[in-house]
Chain A
Amino acid sequence: MTSLSDRFQDGYALEFRAASYRLPSSALLISGLNLSVARGETLVLLGRSGSGKTTTLKLINRLLEPTEGEILITGRPSGSWDPIQLRRGIGYVIQDAGLFPHWTVERNVGLVPRLERWPEERIQARVREMLALVGLPPEEFAERRPSELSGGQKQRVGVARALAADPPILLMDEPFGALDPITRADLQREFRALALRLQKTIVFVTHDVREALFLGTRIALLDQGRLVGVYAPAEFLKATEPEVHAFAASLDPGGTHEGAP
């Protein structure tokens, strides 16, 4: 089987084709989603809680399977990929970082390379490189446990772990959502620079419109499982859809924003 990186030549990185996801209880979480993600772009999925952002993300790495429609990953239906191989080619960062508390930072970051049976020296070198990349000096942090890290440091380790096996696609589920505003701003700035440099295809979930405008090359707005629209950041606040207005108003709780209804 060709790996995800080998197939990463041309066409869209990701394509949702009329994808729906329905719970066994028949509640429809995603309905008829059509969405394409180009290679190297950072697509932000923006929406309120329960709008289906996380579900959309999990359909990509097959933590969930679409009940209707399909998702193409580098042109091939997600169902035809071996889920384990697919996930090792897609970096995944979640809000609480999901670091393994019983492992050191070094082991956490080396997770996927070890699963892929890289030679040990190469893993060591890669872990150091990744920690340096996310601004954590390896000599200081490699042997620490996640419990000995601050929230921001945990997220940095989470990003380092997701990037360790050099996956072409990165999925991020509100990675900076639980951080204090100053740490969040730091990480957003650094992540933006990193994303520009690494040219990964990134799907970034957030409910923070400021973050969406800052990080996204495009913003896909979801509302109750449906795609409202896809916007360039510069166009987003000018769009006329009511859900856009709702988010625009959240930028300005005082209610003086001209876009507010």
Chain B
Amino acid sequence: MNWYEFLLRNRSEVFERSLEHIGLVGASMAIALIIGLPLGVALVSRAKLQRWVIGAANVVQTIPSLALFGFLIPVPWIGGIGASTAIVALSLYALLPILRNTCTGIAEVDPAVVESARGMGMTPWQVLWQVQLPLAAPVLLAGIRVSTAMCIGITTIAAAIGAGGLGVFIFRGLAMVNNQVILAGAIPAAFLAIAADSGLGYFQRSSAKR
């Protein structure tokens, strides 16, 4: 049996697991964005704190994902087995590229433009929303793009702590020593990553054109 025959025969489960996968990635990215964007904006003018926070996010990034999922299981409130633990870990991973690109994206906006915006009497809020964020958008979107692709990959490992998603096939295939089953998880996951990446890439390019 080929991997695509397996895929076809189990298409309803593959579909379901794909939706689970997308749900995990979507929830994690949403949390990472809600935390990362405002935090990044707040850190732009605080160089010292920015180094610490980005350093901490870097450290998180170096923890192997399987280990991080494992570490979180005994943690009260956020830990345990299942999707919520996975979402916590995935959000932590997704945070760094978003945070870093928010900081650099805003810092790289031409200082002359920001100064003239302030000098013309725009409030700090207007400068942020009408000048800094639109001009930082391509860099911001690049960060979101990296985060999303990475998140889709790491989410396959979340199946190890019972979070579901396409990783279920991969772990099942590993246990059965059956490459077809592994591919039935890996190929849709790769497809999701490519689709998300090219979709966000399109946005990134169109924001850079403006």
Q: Is the CB of A94 within 8 A of B120?
A: no
Q: Is the CB of B115 within 8 A of A63?
A: yes
User: Could you name 11 residue pairs across A and B whose Cβ atoms are closer than 8 Å?
Assistant: A85-B121, A87-B119, A87-B120, A88-B121, A92-B116, A98-B117, A99-B116, A102-B135, A111-B122, A112-B121, A115-B121
How many pairs of A and B residues are in contact by the CB < 8 Å rule? Answer: 60
Instruction: Identify whether the interface residues of B are mostly helix, strand, loop, or mixed.
Output: helix
A111 to B135, CA, bound (A): 17
Partner of A92, one of B119, B123, B130, B131: B119
A96 to B110, CA, bound (A): 10
Chain A residues within an 8 Å CB radius of B118: 63, 87
Known: A100-B131, A102-B135, A115-B126. A94 touches B121 (CB 8 A): no
Q: Which residues 21-60 in B have Cβ within 8 Å of A in the complex?
A: none
Q: Is the CB of A95 within 8 A of B112?
A: yes
Residue A182 at the chain B interface, CB threshold 8 Å: no
A61 to B118, CA, bound (A): 10
Q: Is the CB of B112 within 8 A of A98?
A: yes
The list of the 7 closest CB pairs from A to B, nearest first, reads A98-B116, A88-B121, A87-B121, A92-B119, A96-B112, A98-B112, A102-B134
Residue A156 at the chain B interface, CB threshold 8 Å: no
Q: Is the CB of B120 within 8 A of A101?
A: no
Residue A23 at the chain B interface, CB threshold 8 Å: no
Q: Which residues 187-238 in A have Cβ within 8 Å of B in the complex?
A: none
Q: Nearest chain A CB to B46's CB is how many angstroms away?
A: 15
Chain A residues within an 8 Å CB radius of B113: 98-101
Q: Is the CB of B121 within 8 A of A84?
A: yes
Q: Which residues 83-129 in A have Cβ within 8 Å of B in the complex?
A: 84-89, 92, 94-102, 111-112, 115
A63 to B120, CA, bound (A): 10
A26 to B135, CA, bound (A): 34
A161 to B122, CA, bound (A): 13
A102 to B210, CA, bound (A): 6
Q: Is the CB of B115 within 8 A of A94?
A: yes
Q: Which residues 85-129 in B have Cβ within 8 Å of A in the complex?
A: 110, 112-113, 115-123, 126
A61 to B123, CA, bound (A): 14
A161 to B113, CA, bound (A): 13
A76 to B74, CA, bound (A): 64
A89 to B119, CA, bound (A): 10
Q: Is the CB of B135 within 8 A of A63?
A: no
A131 to B120, CA, bound (A): 18
Instruction: Report the count of interface residues on B (CB-CB < 8 A).
Output: 18
Q: Nearest chain B CB to A56's CB is how many angstroms away?
A: 14
A22 to B177, CA, bound (A): 72
A158 to B131, CA, bound (A): 16
A102 to B130, CA, bound (A): 10
A63 to B114, CA, bound (A): 12
A84 to B122, CA, bound (A): 7
A126 to B119, CA, bound (A): 20
Most buried by B among A85, A86, A95, A115: A115
Most buried by B among A94, A98, A101, A162: A98
Q: Is the CB of A101 within 8 A of B135?
A: yes
Chain A residues within an 8 Å CB radius of B117: 98, 100
Chain B residues within an 8 Å CB radius of A158: 116
Q: Nearest chain A CB to B135's CB is how many angstroms away?
A: 6
A92 to B112, CA, bound (A): 12
Most buried by A among B120, B122, B126, B210: B120
Q: Nearest chain A CB to B64's CB is how many angstroms away?
A: 41
Known: A100-B131, A102-B135, A102-B210. A112 touches B120 (CB 8 A): yes
Partner of A98, one of B115, B134, B135: B115
Q: Is the CB of B119 within 8 A of A63?
A: yes
Known: A100-B131, A102-B210. A94 touches B112 (CB 8 A): yes
A94 to B117, CA, bound (A): 11
